[in-house]
């Protein structure tokens, strides 16, 4: 993945007022892989799901990048200087109707060093470095119908060989990045 080109497709400024967003997630990557976590089975929400590092903002945080850096440090035990801001993605609404701001960041240390040094604070069980190449294979993306209050399509991506399923808000964020990247490439 050409991160320089991808960075040029992202918003540089965040425009929502602090009362309009509830948290931030870190879409963390390097040129070859994206980092996902599998949330701990003991978490009260989204237990066992594939997700990005992130969480709720603190009352004093007025910029999603600040929240994302704090969450990164809390959840990995690493200093936030190991990640570099690339830009903002469009807000995503969770199933609980909370506005979450995805912040794209790239590692400023080698991926293998990051994987070796990152330690869970208990919110995640497994770190999943996943190849961009696998995410970019459109034929591997699928959808199913979700029947709840309304019937709606749910986008998902079986993560092979990890035996995990990328779906929900996290899958929507990834799909949006891929759509932007490849739409721009065709222009």
Distance CA 158, CA 140 (A): 7
Give the SS3 label for residue 85: strand
- Residue 102: the pLDDT is 97
Domain extent listing, the chain:
3-131
The two structure tokens encoding residue 131: 């190849």
- pLDDT per position as a tens digit, 79-124: 999 999 999 999 998 877 889 999 999 999 999 999 999 999 999 9
Distance CA 35, CA 66 (A): 19
What is the sign of the dihedral through the CA atoms of 82, 84, 89 and 91?
positive
Q: How many CA atoms lie within 13 A of 7 on its CB side?
A: 12
DSSP 11: B
DSSP 18: G
Give the SS3 label for residue 113: helix
- Residue 26: the pLDDT is 98
The yes/no answer on whether domain 3-131 falls in CATH 3.90.79.10 is yes
Q: Is residue 27 a contact partner of residue 104, using CB atoms and an 8 Å limit?
A: yes
Residue 35 has pLDDT above 80, yes or no: yes
User: Which has more confidence, 152 or 68?
Assistant: 68
Mean pLDDT of the chain: 92
Distance CA 42, CA 16 (A): 32
pTM beyond 0.85: the answer is yes
């Amino acid at each position: 993945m050409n991160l320089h080109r991808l960075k040029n497709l992202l918003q540089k400024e965040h425009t929502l007022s602090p009362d309009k967003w509830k948290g931030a997630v870190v879409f963390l990557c390097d040129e070859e892989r994206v980092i996902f976590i599998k949330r701990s089975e003991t978490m009260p929400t989204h237990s066992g799901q594939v997700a990005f590092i992130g969480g709720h903002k603190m009352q004093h945080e007025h910029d999603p990048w600040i929240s994302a850096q704090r969450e990164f440090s809390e959840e990995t035990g690493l200093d936030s200087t190991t990640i570099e801001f690339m830009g903002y993605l469009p807000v995503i609404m969770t199933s609980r109707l909370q506005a979450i701001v995805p912040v794209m960041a790239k590692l400023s240390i080698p991926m293998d060093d990051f994987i070796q040094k990152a330690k869970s604070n208990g919110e995640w069980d497994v770190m999943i470095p996943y190849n961009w190449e696998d995410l970019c294979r459109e034929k591997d993306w699928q959808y199913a119908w979700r029947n709840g209050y309304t019937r709606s399509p749910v986008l998902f991506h079986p993560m092979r060989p990890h035996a995990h399923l990328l779906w929900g808000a996290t899958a929507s964020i990834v799909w949006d990045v891929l759509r932007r990247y490849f739409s721009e490439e065709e222009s």
